[in-house]
């Protein structure tokens, strides 16, 4: 027989480790991005042909507080939907379609606000740094370093008035 209490404790411990490691990966990715920008600025400084303005501009880029490592991440504390999605994706170890993610969330008893549709889940996934969109309706953990699909740019719709006679 399996001791359900022990398995639940192990499951909780693994989920906590996943969350901690995912946060660490995000932090390291932010540091790498900041260091890459610093490296580019240093290269620009070296390439400057002695022009004081270029050198000052490169130094200003180095000292800029706009580094993502210094900015506050989008989702510091995870919403239950975000946390559940991270756990599900980590367990499956592959990108999942939004409908499958929603089904798994509802099976785990995680309440989905609104009508409980895929669109309601997408809103939470889109603002979470730990999850990225890798295809149409497919989501994966950002820590897997899979190529992301850029966010779709929607055209502003112009409503035309019909001339009333």
pLDDT in tens, 98-132: 999 999 999 999 999 888 899 999 999 998 999 99
Higher pLDDT, 152 or 65: 152
Given a cut of 60, is residue 52 above it in pLDDT? no
Q: Sign of dihedral through CA atoms 108, 111, 112, 117? A: positive
SS (H, E, C) 52-85: HHHHHHHHHHHCCCCCCCCCCCCCCCCCHHHHHH
In a domain, 57, yes or no: yes
How many structural domains compose the chain? 2
In a domain, 36, yes or no: yes
In a domain, 134, yes or no: yes
In a domain, 52, yes or no: yes
In a domain, 90, yes or no: yes
In a domain, 162, yes or no: no
In a domain, 75, yes or no: no
Q: What are the pLDDT digits (tens) for 135-151?
A: 999 999 999 988 888 87
Contact criterion met (CB below 8 Å) for 129 and 75: yes
Please give the pLDDT value at position 164: 56
Given a cut of 80, is residue 77 above it in pLDDT? no
């Amino acid at each position: 027989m399996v001791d359900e209490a022990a398995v639940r404790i192990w499951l909780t411990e693994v989920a906590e480790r996943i969350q901690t490691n995912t946060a660490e990966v995000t932090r390291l990715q932010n540091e790498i991005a900041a260091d890459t920008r610093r490296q580019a600025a240093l290269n620009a400084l070296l390439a400057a042909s002695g022009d004081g303005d270029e050198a000052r501009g490169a130094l200003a880029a180095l000292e800029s507080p706009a580094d993502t490592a210094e900015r506050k991440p989008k989702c510091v504390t995870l919403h239950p939907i975000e946390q559940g999605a991270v756990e599900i994706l980590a367990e499956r170890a592959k990108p999942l379609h939004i409908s499958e993610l929603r089904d798994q969330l509802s099976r785990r008893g995680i309440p989905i606000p609104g009508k409980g549709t895929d669109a309601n889940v997408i809103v939470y996934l889109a603002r979470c740094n730990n999850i990225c969109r890798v295809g149409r309706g497919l989501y994966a953990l950002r820590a897997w370093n899979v190529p992301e699909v850029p966010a779709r740019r929607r055209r502003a719709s112009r409503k035309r008035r019909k001339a009333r006679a």
